[in-house]
Amino acid sequence: MVLSFKVAPILYQYALAQHQVITTDADCLNLPGRMTEKKIAIRDYLISYIRSEGHRSENFSSMVGYQTIYENSGIKWSDDKRLQAKDRELVNSILNYYKQTGFIYDYKKDCKNIEIEVYKEEKPKGEK
């Protein structure tokens, strides 16, 4: 059986989604609070981003923008500053939960970007 070119990418994406759900700890999938489509989309992107940590090249930036997270999740980033603050808070709340459960070690944020530290970074001897 040969799959057409148009069907294969959809099946591939479906298989990737199934693999992600099957191989992801339930604590990462079951976030506290009400699960909305927006929250699920952000959660799925963050899980993929976090899990790709070991597969990135050395020159890959460790910073990711809130706008990038939303747009790669398929959600439009609002021009309204008040909504942007709420959107950033949603991402931060998910990352706070992931930090609490041990899925990530820590994260740093500013008003536009976050840097997710998946593993505790070992500092060279003599450095504080």
- For residue 74, the model assigns a pLDDT of 92
Radius of gyration of the chain (CA): 17
Closest CA to 40 of 20, 15, 13: 20
Q: How many helices (H) and strands (E) in the chain?
A: 5, 3
- For residue 6, the model assigns a pLDDT of 52
pTM of the predicted model as reported, rounded to 2 decimal places? 0.74
DSSP state, 44?
H
- For residue 64, the model assigns a pLDDT of 92
- For residue 61, the model assigns a pLDDT of 74
The half-sphere exposure of 57 on its side-chain side, counting CA atoms within 13 A, is 2
CA–CA distance, 51 with 24 (Å, rounded to integer)? 10
- For residue 70, the model assigns a pLDDT of 96
pLDDT mean for each 10 residues of the chain (128 residues): 54 67 70 91 90 73 90 94 95 95 92 87 54
* Neighbouring-strand partners of residue 113: 65
- For residue 1, the model assigns a pLDDT of 47
- For residue 114, the model assigns a pLDDT of 94
* Neighbouring-strand partners of residue 109: 114
Buried b / exposed e along 66-105 (16+ C-beta atoms within 10 A): bbbbbebbeeebeeeeeebeebbebbeebbebbeeeebbe
